[in-house]
A = this chain, B = another copy of it.
């Protein structure tokens, strides 16, 4: 592992949990076992280092959509794949949603830096939804609403973890983890039931 990689790894850890403003160069240096000067030698400034970490974090979440679209025949299948993949991904990276929400809200201009070369197949998903609505395979719903609903259900408990854990589970951590452990199946069923046409049994 080169020094640069060690720095990036340490910066990743610190920035993801504290954000740009909460992070300290000193803490990143300590985490990497080097001193502050070396951080600047490699990345010039805190902002530049942060930007690298942020773009990478955002990119980490995007591939889930692409992969799912390939081996899929209809919308229900896509949603099942997508929820499964995306939920697993975020389970591995539970800090990411809140990190990204926080930084994008602080500086919406960051969106420009991450969308450039990452053309998501949003349009295809919209078409898939429209098609299945037309065919009567699902209840009528706007594509955008369904997409936002699905992502909201996946991300929210991670982004709002301390609140959910406290208000809903009275700080019973085991109960919260049990809740998360079968949430993937719950969400999948919830979404599919919500869009299932009324005359199907």
Contacts and interface: CB of A to CB of B under 8 A. Distances in A.
B100 A163 contact: yes
B111 A162 contact: yes
Contacts of A144: 168-169, 179
Contacts of A101: 98, 101-102, 159-160, 163
Interface residues of A, number: 53
A109 B154 CA distance: 25
A115 B161 CA distance: 15
A166 interface: yes
A198 B201 contact: yes
Interface of A: 18-19, 21-22, 98, 100-102, 104-106, 108, 111, 115, 120, 122, 139, 141-142, 144-145, 147-149, 151-153, 155-157, 159-164, 166-169, 179, 183, 186-187, 190-191, 193-196, 198-199, 201
